[in-house]
Structure 1
Amino acid sequence: MPGALKKVTDNLGAARVILRAGLVPIPRADRGIYSILSVDRYGPFAGVVHAHARNGLDAVAVVDERGQLTYAELEELSNALVRAWVADGVTPGSVMGAMCRNHRGLVLAMLAAAKAGTKLVLMNTGFAPPQLMDVAAREQVRAFVYDEEFQEVADALPADVRRYLSWGEDPSGRVRALDELVLDRPTDTVPRPPTHGSFVLLTSGTTGTPKGAPRERTSALSAAQFLDRIPLRNGQTMVMAAPAFHGTGLSQVGVALALGQTVVMQRNFDPEAALSLVAENRADTLVVVPTMLQRIVDLGAETVAKYDTSNLKVIFAAGSALSPDLCTRTTEAFGHVLYNLYGSTEVAVATVATPAELAEAPGTAGRAPVTCHVELYDDAGTRITKPGRIGRIFVSSGLSFNGYTDGHDKERINGLLCTGDVGHFDEHGLLFVDGRDDDMIVSGGENVYPLEVENLLVARPDVLEAAVIGVEDTEFGHRLKAYVVTAAGAPRDEQDLKAYVKTHLARYKVPREVVFLEELPRNATGKLMRRVLIEMDSPYT
């Protein structure tokens, strides 16, 4: 299909999805027009809040441990914050940074940055001082918003950059809190900025210093990618357990606000507390990363049954691989409500698996939603169409980035962006992600993708987590080494685990060594830090 025709077809499909989901108020055409104008004025994130407030939406927008904020209150507070920042020298086009947990302060910072026309770099809450300094210097951050708990990390920045507390108080009085900044400021509508504000998301940093991936080409139509395959609708309630600084959390906060939903924010993840929030708020949606979901189902059926989750229609999981075993256990615990989104910081959305697809093929990444296109290519750049054949995954999406903030880019073929993963389609057109391209282990001339072995191991009831790496070997080039976290009280039998893999997979996929750990190294978004395991094995560390 020619590019121009494909774009028209994508936009028409997205418009149908948006109308079906109720994102455009029908039959109130006046409100719909005002919403469009508001998005044009402030961008999609802040524009929808402004439109809801002006259209008189009488609803709670955000709930956190401090209480509730309505859409009108969000609008007024963010307007006041814009004026405070402008008075403090923050100008359109400047770069700000934020290092915050899930709470109203982060949402207000996002809204105010958009209305002020600034670029907001969303920092990982797991950063140590050196990482924060490196990223802040590279992105040229001139003002920084952070939670009180990150004071020691923030102290690595120059005093004139470390300006605002989003949560808590500075005993020295040198850093002003957002609550203080907005006092006695006008709350009426702020002028349209000369340029839209934007976000910079950071890659996971599992293989090195996190890269900056700008989100500048967003539009209201991008919400269709989620609404096409996931039944998010107007007026629902969403519990946000996933970190909002990450693409998963940010995208779903944005979609929820666009739909006039109530977003219940969990500042620090706790599995049982997440269930309690779902029950207390009669939540329709729970947003998690897979490690969070794993911890919830590991609570056991008796604990899960203590909480009324009967209103839950969607468990939205994204951010890393979802094992077949976790898919099955989630369905057993909550019914057919699990949606598995596959994407990346760079490409945004690639595919979504529905509950029906996960029941048919646990672990699948599903199919591409409207406006998204997924293709597989071999190392020579030839497209792969045969079911079952593994290839490198390439994606085109209306949200795909134009390149990293340092000027580098990922590989592109025919307008599609490389995800860095490899996968295959089955005979029904469902996508399966087999692992990272650079994680592949060549052992004795055979290609092994760790994810296959890891998924097999975690399917055992006595194994909670597993990670497999390649270790240099003089005979085979590399041999497999597994790191395993066992369930409480389970025996740690290396030979039993090896024999189990041998009965299910080819001999060359059997780990030569099994090391038992109390926990696997993961970053703040739950992604496995495979690099740490490799460094643990290195004779030079």
Structure 2
Amino acid sequence: MVSLGGLKDSVTDVIGLVRVLRDHGLVELSKPHHAALSAKRGERLGPVAALAVNGGEKFAGDPCITDEHGTITYGDFDRQSNALANALLAKGIARGSVIAVIARDHRGLLIALAAAGKAGLRLVMMNTGFGATQFVEVAQRENVSAILYDQEFTALADALPADMPRIITWLEGQAPQGITTLDEIAAGGDTSAPPEPDAAAGMVILTSGTTGLPKGATRGAMSPFASVLLLDRIPFPRKGTSMIVSPLFHATGFATAGVNLALGNRLVLRRRFDAEHTVATMAAEKVEMLVAVPTMLHRMVALGPDVLGKYDLSALKVIVIAGSALSPALSEAIQDAFGDVLYNLYGSTEVAIASIAQPQELRKAPGTVGRPPISSRLRLYDADNKQITAANVRGRLFVKNGVPFEGYTDGRNKDIIDGYMSTGDMARFDDDGLMFIEGRDDDMIVSGGENVYPLEVENLLAEHDAVDDVAVIGVPDDEFGTRLRAFIVRAEDTDPTPDEIKAHVKTHLARYKVPRDVVFVDELPRNPTGKLVRRQLPTGPL
């Protein structure tokens, strides 16, 4: 039974959803049959395939994707994904089967996503940072029966059974004998639309895997709330130009790409990230929106005003940042360098978009993740599962929104309280209702009887002029049970000492939050989305 409060929330959400979609030109109230047709396509094809078909009808001659091979139109995108879908079915891959793709950001990845939906195949997006063992384990767990891959990942593809069908999505050299390439299929394949499946086969987006083997999160039919969660607080361009350097296989890159395609924008993609090359491309392509992860923006800001000043970035109106924690110091540095255009997105593969901070909120409270968009609701719970309502009290963060999580592919699920799903993070709300992430709930350590969250120490050290990157973890200690160890990447032309680092923390935080160990390293282990892989940091004796 639905409670009166829940019914009121649902009605409010639907009204808000229609308003946001109407304001962005995605729904015409005078043509309800168009909206019904799009919804039906989404249910049968899944999000990317439905966007390819819709784009081929609405924006056929408009530029769709620009990568190192040039630009294809929305019509090209629709036809080439038809050709790939027909080629996959012609290889004898039955509808409902699972295929995988491991590719960098380029047209081929999006064409593969659309083709899988049109062919009625479930697609697993593999992480480009996988080693052979992880790659094979995930492929086996997800029952993958065909592989699409960039040529650079041939060694990974070769670790799968030799008789598994395979297609190369990006060719860098000579095509291997006997293996079909996407370029060949796009040039000479059957571009007619294959028969629509009865229902979307779905897709699997992998979690970050910072604590072990990445879990598979299933996504099925397209929910209109998925777009609204982004559009409600972020001013996407319409029929403009957006550049995504965040990996498309990750939830943020995937979600923002989908919204951009729905709005008829041109997507600028590059297979590898380089800070100055990205800035130069933004200027040359007159990019209005940039989607990136914090480590990428850190490197762009580090170019300095002399380098940044060489490029005309006057078209830039929005920077969306997500994927890992945004420190207050980096938040300020980005807006000082690029203007007040920063939007800090917080969410996860499981809960979708939980909250978004807008530029004025980040100026007021650097590092905040802002407020929830329409249909997203946030709650904090204490260790006894009692709701926390007071300001500035840390608790476990739970989220409920209009994009339901369908569970992991191994059958597990997240903790749920009162219909709200755990994010695994600790958070607090300030007096103005702005939310701050305080770290993972399993990152908390107890040192000498005191609770310590490493993220607080990391954010403080990130402000130090001699610190380029930092990670803080707990390690075993005979006296205190656990002690803090800080790993520091020195800023260029600096040579801080461990005592200077400790003194900086002692000046601003309680004594028990001062790292006992300070280790200087050349770089920190981060995955392709910029998240710190703490389990790869040494915890043994130094």
The TM-score bracket by the shorter chain reads: over 0.9
Please give the per-residue CA displacement for 1:307-334, whole angstroms capped at 9, x wherever unaligned: 1111111100011100000110001001
- SS at 1:142 equivalent: strand
Q: Distance in 2 between matches of 1:58 and 1:22?
A: 19
Deviations, residues 484-529 of structure 1 (Å, cap 9, x unaligned): 0011110131101100100000000000110001110111211101
The answer as to whether partners of 1:218 and 1:398 remain within 8 angstroms in 2 is: no
In structure 1, the partner of 2:280 is 276
Which residue in the other structure is 2:313 paired with? Answer: 309
CA distance in 1, matches of 2:167, 2:247: 20
How is 1:463-502 mapped onto 2 (pairs within 5 angstroms)?
463-502=467-506
**In 2, distance between residues paired with 1:45 and 1:236?**
19
Alignment of 1:155-166 (within 5 A): 155-161=158-164, 163-166=166-169
Where do residues 180-195 of structure 1 align in structure 2 (5 Å cutoff)? 180-195=184-199
- Out of 52, 55, 63, the position equivalent to 1:52 is 55
Deviation for aligned residue 1:242: 0.6
- The partner residue of 1:150 within 136, 139, 153 is 153
CA contact (8 A) 1:458 1:464 kept: yes
Distance 2:132 2:528 in 1: 15
Counterpart of 1:396? Answer: 400
Match 2:42 to one of 39, 43, 51: 39
177-186 or 429-438, which deviates more: 177-186
After superposition, what is the alpha-carbon deviation per residue over 1:162-219, rounded to whole angstroms, capped at 9, x for unaligned? 5111111665413211122344333223221122132211111111111111112531
Over 3 Å counting, the alpha-carbon distance change for 1:469 and 1:40 in structure 2 is closer
Q: Go from structure 1 to structure 2 and tell me whether the alpha carbon gap of 1:56 and 1:499 turns closer, same or farther (over 3 Å shift).
A: closer
Q: Structure 2 length normalisation: TM-score?
A: 0.96
Q: Give, in angstroms, the shift of residue 2 of structure 1.
A: 2.8
Tell me which moved more, 486-495 or 329-338: 486-495
1:518 matched to 2:522: yes
Aligned-partner Cα distance in 1 for 2:196–2:296: 39
- Structure 2 residue corresponding to 1:88, chosen from 87, 91, 108: 91
Choose which of 68, 73, 79 in structure 2 pairs with 1:65: 68
**Native 8 Å contact 1:215 1:399 kept in 2:** no
Find out whether 1:436 has 2:445 as its counterpart: no
Mean Cα deviation higher: 150-159 or 497-506: 150-159
Instruction: Name the structure 2 match of 1:285.
Output: 289
Which residue of 362, 366, 369 maps to 1:362? 366
C-alpha root-mean-square deviation of aligned residues, in Å?
A: 1.7
1:108 is displaced (CA, Å) by 0.5
- What's 2:426 paired with? 422
Q: 1:219 aligns with which of 217, 223, 226?
A: 223
TM-score by length of structure 1 reads 0.96
- Residue 104 of structure 1 corresponds to which residue in structure 2? 107
Taking the TM superposition and a 5 Å limit, the aligned residue runs for 1:377-388 are: 377-388=381-392
| Paired position in structure 2 for 1:538 | 540
Aligned equivalents of 2:441 and 2:43: distance in 1?
39
SS of the equivalent of 1:438 reads coil
Decide whether aligned partners of structure 1 residues 153 and 162 sit closer, same or farther in structure 2, where only a CA change above 3 A counts: farther
Q: Counterpart of 1:520 in structure 2: which amino acid? A: L
CA distance in structure 1 between the partners assigned to 2:68 and 2:316 by the alignment: 21
Paired letter, 1:538: G
Alpha-carbon separation, structure 2, partners of 1:532 and 1:432: 26
Cα distance in 1, alignment partners of residues 335 and 455 from structure 2: 21
Q: Which runs of 5+ in 2 are unaligned?
A: none
- The 2-side partners of 1:280 and 1:56 are apart by 23
1:246 aligns with one of 243, 246, 250: 250
* Pairing 1:445–2:441 present: no
Q: Give the CA deviation at 1:27.
A: 6.5
After superposition, the C-alpha distances for 1:398-455 in whole angstroms (9 at most, x for unaligned) are: 2241211001111100111100000100111111000001111111111111111001
Quick one: which of 324, 327, 333 aligns to 1:320? 324
The partner residue of 1:9 within 8, 12, 37 is 12
- Residue number in structure 2 paired with 1:454: 458
Q: Once the two structures are superposed, what CA deviation does each residue of 1:286-325 show, in whole Å capped at 9, x if it has no partner?
A: 0001111111111111111111111111100011100000
The AA in structure 2 aligned to 1:113 is A
1:334 corresponds to which residue?
A: 338
Does structure 2 conserve the Cα–Cα contact (< 8 Å) formed by 1:498 and 1:510?
A: yes
Of the structure 1 ranges 508-517 and 167-176, higher mean CA displacement relative to structure 2 is found in 167-176
Paired residue total: 538
Distance 1:208 1:68, change over 3 A: same
> 2:180: which partner in 1?
176
For 1:304 and 1:28, the matched residues in 2 are separated by: 46
Given residue 337 of structure 1, which amino acid in structure 2 is its aligned partner? Answer: V
Secondary structure, aligned partner of 1:537? coil
User: 1:503 pairs with 481, 504, 507, which one?
Assistant: 507
Q: Structure 1: which 4+ aligned runs deviate by more than 6 Å?
A: 26-30
Between the two proteins, what is the percent identity of the paired residues? 48
SS state at 2:16 partner: helix
Deviation at 1:9, TM superposition (A): 1.6
Distance (Å, rounded) in 2 between the aligned partners of 1:203 and 1:36? 27
Q: Do the aligned partners of 2:28 and 2:35 also contact (CA within 8 Å) in 1?
A: yes
C-alpha separation between the residues in 2 aligned to 1:402 and 1:77?
Answer: 30
